[in-house]
Amino acid sequence: MESESPIETKKGKSKTPKKAKESILKQKSPAEFFAENKNIAGFDNPGKCLYTTVREFVENALDSAESISELPVIEITIEEIIKSKFNSMIGLVDRERIDEALYDDYETAKAREGTSDFAYVLEFYVLSSLDVLKCHLTLSCSNLFSLVQKRLAKEARAQEIQAKNASLGKKVKEHTVSKGAKGRGEASFYRVTCKDNGRGMPHDDIPNMFGRVLSGTKYGLKQTRGKFGLGAKMALIWSKMSTGLPIDISSSMRGQNYISFCRLDIDIHRNIPHIHLHEKRDNKDKWHGAEIQVVIEGNWTTYRSKILHYMRQMAVITPYAQFLFKFVSDTPDKNITIKFARRTDAVPPVPVETKHHPSSVDILLIKRLIAETSKPNLLQFLQHEFVNIGKPLAERLIGEMGPEFSPKMAVKSLTDQQIVRIHQLFRQAKFDDPSGDCLSPAGEYNLRLGIIKELHPDMVATYSGSAQVFEGHPFIVEAGVSVGGKDGLNIFRFANRIPLLFEQGGDVVTRTALKRISWNNYKINQTQDKIGVFVSIVSTKIPFKGTGKEYIGDDISEIASAVKSAIQQCCIQLKSKIVKKMQAREQQERKRNLSKYIPDATNAVYDVLKEMARSHVSKKKRYEEGDADILRKVSDHSITNETLKEKLTEHVEKVDYQMALEYATQTGVREEPSEDIYLQSLDGKGNLFDFHSPIFVFRLFL
């Protein structure tokens, strides 16, 4: 009995279920949340992190320069930092490997066997004669074939084990194809520096502007490139996660005799800045702007094309800016320096902050506006806190709300039920659409410059639509369509004057260009012609899908309709140009065909005239006086073969011009919209003459 008790106790323990841990209420700071979900902000992997960091720095620099109406001058530098240099920066001493099998790139002896055999065959191929090679190649090929069979069998067994584990619900470890591939531990580091000539930042605000997530200056209702207060902070968070190094900020505002320098990182758990150094330095050069420097893990090799493509497109949509991009490496062959020169001094107007449209607010926003307003009563609150509500309309709205509302009632005394009533009325009442005066589109001129620079097309058409509204927010769509240049259908998307490079398939511009435009109706062949489509959307609220600002969804009918209309307007302009080009080509073809037969026709006609002239001289046949006069000139050689050729050429030119004019009248005029023309009369009396026509009367003053 005593010997059995321990066994029974052991069995009893194995059958006892584990007690579930009690759930503990926890809180996370915004910085901690975005550090754990960095892909939300576009920081998916090291390469994407490098791209997004460059993007956020450049866009912040542009906003800063444009806010003071300064022509932007932006320098962006990416410096590659090798592992030994990075270790010395953080005070880490390099160590030699002791246990090779511990590392991800370790290869077993059997794995190296195939490589050595193959290298031996190649070396023997170079150094041996053809006769010896034939003998050895057979043996080596058989060895290599045996090695390949072993590796394939090993991979097949591994796949069978994975499939079996997956069917049993066990965790499956992903099979690595190549052990020689770069491991996760072998990271690449880069120092990203961005310098601009913008507004700069106040000395005391710098720590909170970079070290506190969801804090920023762009939360008003205004067209801005940034919106969420995440960009530079996410670069700092990624730097803290991947390198542990702080961020360096230098800034100076106009008229300041000092430069603010701040070195800081962020306390992830408390979402507050951790300041290493914050001081004022001499500003001898009277420089203003900001310079930001951060060291992060990245992948230049994979995202090199994306970063350069982004810089090119940014230069396209902002031709008034000057960009200098540098990539610096210890390997000189990898160094890159690209200068995107300024092509115009025409800067779009600075976007202005606007008020909320009644149809775009919710209950929480109404409560916040009530808490922040300085207006004492309801009438003044409605007039001054919302657009398109004048005094007459405000009085009508208050009368519609019910007897418990009055124009003079204190706005801060409104109850929750009364605020809900106001919100319901705002959703049901009819208001004028907000104007687009607060928006700052790129402009057709800048868009045309960008298209010509990027694609070098044969024909370009641009269109800027009027302001439209979705969910109470104004937006403007500008479009450009080109024919010629790069092959295929090239689509370029911009939102609030920033390029969108990712998730192109789901974007409203791509779907519209591929599925909703009948290109053949505009004399454009979608499969053969080289087409470029540029669409720029600006608004106080861009409906991005996610915080990464990567694409605009296709689910907002107002934007989809405006994009389609803008592209169609460009196509109509191009159709007119294409028709004229077709006319010119057909005219040249007609002229070429007629001119080709002029010598033969001239010789035949002249031979007939000479024969008729001989008959007339010999009086075998008599002709009328007019014909006889021509025949005498032929006999006197006053009319020669060359004379006939000149006259026939003139006739071809005349007929060709008349046919082209008639064709243009029948087809080309219909393609172009007609416009009324008004001529302002001159003041005072004077001599005048009227020229009458079946269509109009032209009066000439002398």
Give 293's strand partners. 193, 248
Question: Residue 684, annotated ligand binder?
Answer: no
**Contact (CB, 8 A) for 509 and 570:** no
Question: Residue 218, annotated ligand binder?
Answer: yes
Q: Would you call 486 helix, strand, or coil by DSSP? A: coil
Q: What is the largest CA-CA distance in the chain?
A: 157
Question: Residue 231, annotated ligand binder?
Answer: yes
Q: Would you call 672 helix, strand, or coil by DSSP? A: coil
DSSP string, 67-125: TTTPPPEEEEEEEEE-HHHHHHHTT------S-GGGSTT---HHHHHHHHHHHHHHHHH
Instruction: Tell me the CATH class for 444-581.
Output: alpha beta
pLDDT, residue 150, reads: 57
**Contact (CB, 8 A) for 478 and 570:** no
DSSP letter assigned to residue 263: E
- Reading the block at residue 30, the tokens are 């915004």
Which among 569, 558, 585, 578 has a CA at the least distance from the CA of 656? 585
Question: Residue 173, annotated ligand binder?
Answer: no
Question: Residue 233, annotated ligand binder?
Answer: yes
The residue extents of the domains of the chain are 42-87+186-340, 105-165, 358-428, 444-581, 594-701
Helices and strands (H, E) in the chain, number of each type? 20, 16
- Indicate the CATH number of 358-428 among 3.20.19.10, 1.10.3720.10, 1.10.10.10, 1.10.8.50: 1.10.8.50
For the beta carbon of residue 376, count every other beta carbon within 10 angstroms: 13
pLDDT, residue 594, reads: 75
E-strand ranges in 465-545 read 468-470, 473-483, 489-495, 498-500, 531-539
**Contact (CB, 8 A) for 336 and 327:** yes
Question: Residue 668, annotated ligand binder?
Answer: no
CATH number of 42-87+186-340: 3.30.565.10
Distance CA 251, CA 200 (A): 5
The answer for residues whose C-beta is within 8 angstroms of residue 414's C-beta and 6 or more apart is 370, 378, 422
Question: Residue 226, annotated ligand binder?
Answer: yes
Distance CA 589, CA 96 (A): 77
**Contact (CB, 8 A) for 44 and 302:** no
Backbone angles phi, psi at 178, to 5 degrees: -130, 120
**Contact (CB, 8 A) for 567 and 517:** yes
Distance CA 680, CA 432 (A): 35
For the beta carbon of residue 520, count every other beta carbon within 10 angstroms: 10
Question: Residue 228, annotated ligand binder?
Answer: yes
E-strand ranges in 360-497 read 459-464, 468-470, 473-483, 489-495
From the first residue on, what is the mean pLDDT of each consecutive set of 10 residues in the chain (702 residues)?
A: 47 57 78 86 89 93 90 95 86 79 70 55 46 44 51 58 50 44 65 94 92 76 74 88 93 93 92 93 93 94 92 89 94 92 84 86 91 90 90 91 90 92 91 85 86 84 89 90 83 90 88 91 86 91 77 88 94 87 76 79 83 76 74 80 83 72 56 53 60 65 62
Residue 610's Cβ-side half-sphere holds a number of Cα atoms within 13 Å equal to 10
pLDDT, residue 117, reads: 54
Strands 73-81 and 258-267: unpaired
pLDDT, residue 297, reads: 93
Backbone angles phi, psi at 343, to 5 degrees: -110, -5
Question: Residue 196, annotated ligand binder?
Answer: yes
Distance CA 431, CA 696 (A): 45
pLDDT, residue 104, reads: 73
